[in-house]
Amino acid sequence: MRRAIFLDRDGVLNAALLDGQGGPLPPRLASELRILPGVPEACAALRAAGFLLIGCTNQPDIARGTTSRGFVDWVNAEVAVACGLDEMRLCPHDDADACHCRKPRPGMLTDAAAAHGVDLGRSWMVGDRYRDVEAGQAAGCRTLFIDLGYAERPPTSPPTAIAHSLAAGLPILLSGGHRCPSPLKPCV
């Protein structure tokens, strides 16, 4: 079975915008899409180490009617190409839809694992929100929390490791999580 790195999109692969309360938002315009520094190189290193790279993104603005599915599909395609992803999975639902794919539920990860023959216990979920960490934990993955200091609650259970960017977390992912002295102390 294969190993995978499941990657949240906004805040991990591309820059997230901030709302007025310090919470993350996805790009709303093509001009706002910016791949984060070091991300293509980190993804290339993960691929070279034998990981499958799968993006997993919640995009509830589709269900809310504040952005189009076409625009989200365009952003997903741009990010997937720029980062060399094998696949980009999307949940277009909002919390009220109670779907199995909206993080913190693990459906995107478990569905992708079934489709690609992925061993979830040897895989990682990388995300910048509690939803990402909790989805990874529910799926049985190790988790890397990209702590960007959002004004929202932290993950309920400690992640496997913490970093401030995917590039900074790369040594953790490549070493299996053994370079971080404590899951409660950020690795930079």
What topology does CATH give the domain 3-124+134-140?
Answer: Rossmann fold (3.40.50)
| Structure confidence at residue 180 as a pLDDT band (50, 70, 90) | very low
The end-to-end CA distance of the chain, in Å, is 31
Distance of CA 146 to the CA centre of its chain: 9
* DSSP summary character for residue 122: G
How far apart, in Å, are the Cα atoms of 168 and each of 27, 182, 187? 23, 15, 7
Q: Do residues 60 and 94 lie in contact, with contact meaning Cβ atoms separated by under 8 Å?
A: yes
8 flagged as catalytic:
yes
Supply the pLDDT for residue 184. 45
The per-residue pLDDT of the chain, averaged, comes to 93
Adjacent-strand bridge partners of 141: none
From 8, 61, 128, 132, the catalytic residue: 8
How far apart, in Å, are the Cα atoms of 141 and each of 39, 55, 83, 187? 21, 15, 21, 19
Q: pTM of the predicted model, to two decimals? A: 0.93
Q: Do residues 108 and 91 lie in contact, with contact meaning Cβ atoms separated by under 8 Å?
A: yes
Determine the Cα–Cα distance for residues 183 and 136; give it in Å rounded to an integer.
15
119 flagged as catalytic:
no
Determine the Cα–Cα distance for residues 182 and 114; give it in Å rounded to an integer.
31
From 10, 61, 128, 132, the catalytic residue: 10
Supply the pLDDT for residue 182. 45
pLDDT in tens, 120-162: 999 999 999 999 999 999 999 999 999 999 999 999 999 999 9
Answer yes or no: is pLDDT of 186 > 60: no
Determine the Cα–Cα distance for residues 64 and 61; give it in Å rounded to an integer.
5
- Show the DSSP H helices in the chain as ranges: 39-48, 61-64, 69-83, 107-116, 130-139, 166-175
Residue type, 14: N
The domain segmentation of the chain, as residue ranges, is 3-124+134-140
